[in-house]
Amino acid sequence: MLVGEIKTIKELYGLDLIAPGHRACAGCGALIAVRQILMASKRPLIVVSATSCLEVTSTPYPQTMWKTPWVHLLFENAATAASGIEAALKVLSRKYNRQEHYIIAFGGDGGTFDIGIQALSGALERGHRFIYVCYDNEAYMNTGIQRSGATPLGAATTTSPVGTKIVGKTQQKKDLMEIVVAHRIPYAATASPSHWKDLVNKVRKAQSYDGPSFIHVIAPCTRGWYFDTSETIKVARLAVETRYWPLYEVENGRYRITHPVPNPKPLEEFLKVQRRLSHLLLPENAEILESLKAYVNERWERLQKLSACFA
């Protein structure tokens, strides 16, 4: 276990780098995931943040919640800035024997799947040493709950409403992990705040590589997914237990499912607790539901086959 000395969630929270009093919504999945990732990270640490819910809620000028050096960038260039910081620190280390820092860049799904994918691709191709974390709440939540490339089939957003012409988003979710893996980086993984030890292990493993790493973490959004603020971890856990959000890693090209789900709960259990997707349970939307189920099942079967190749 890479968790090492960390045995309980209480011990993990003793490493908190987020101050109280931020403006994130109650039950914000993104903030929970970011907090856990920062706690797991080695120090000293520099954080780069794209424009997002995370940036808006964490740093209303002149205040900040960050207890570590932090840089805010536009939607599209968090990976570019992290690359520049990493290159500069290498020069300082070589010239003046200064200690190198660990770097984590955070971006939401809008700033990663869509607006920032070009900068991310360039940074991965060049081989800069940092972790890029996409916290995925599956829509542009910061600007009004518009659909993104991460929004799943059938989900209701302000730009893919449920009506007489369409019933939510008409396209499947983009497979960002496979796009990232195609860059042949040392390490990429999915994670969930509901499985915190798995997440901690993956952060520590990502930081052990001399190159870029990527972590894709689910971040349930109470306002955009429409569930009670007390149920964030429940929703995140259901995503894993229904195989909607498989937990796996790709280490030097080798796939491994890190949390097997041999007896998954029905996908309906995940859908019914969130108003953005619960309409798929209506009889008239059965075809869309079956398409979403097929997508989930096909992806799981593919991951099983790929993992078996390297067992």
What tens digit of pLDDT does each residue of 23-49 get? 999 999 999 999 999 999 999 999 999
Dist. CA 1–CA 246, nearest whole Å: 20
CATH topology of domain 9-309: Rossmann fold (3.40.50)
- pLDDT single digits (tens) 156-178: 999 999 999 999 999 999 999 99
- How many Cα atoms sit within 13 Å of 103 on the Cβ side? 28
Q: In whole angstroms, what is the distance from residue 106 CA to residue 49 CA?
A: 5
User: Taking Cα atoms as reference points, which of 227, 300, 217, 215 lies closest to residue 270?
Assistant: 227
Residues 123-145, mean pLDDT to the nearest whole number: 97
Domain ranges of the chain: 9-309
pTM beyond 0.75: the answer is yes
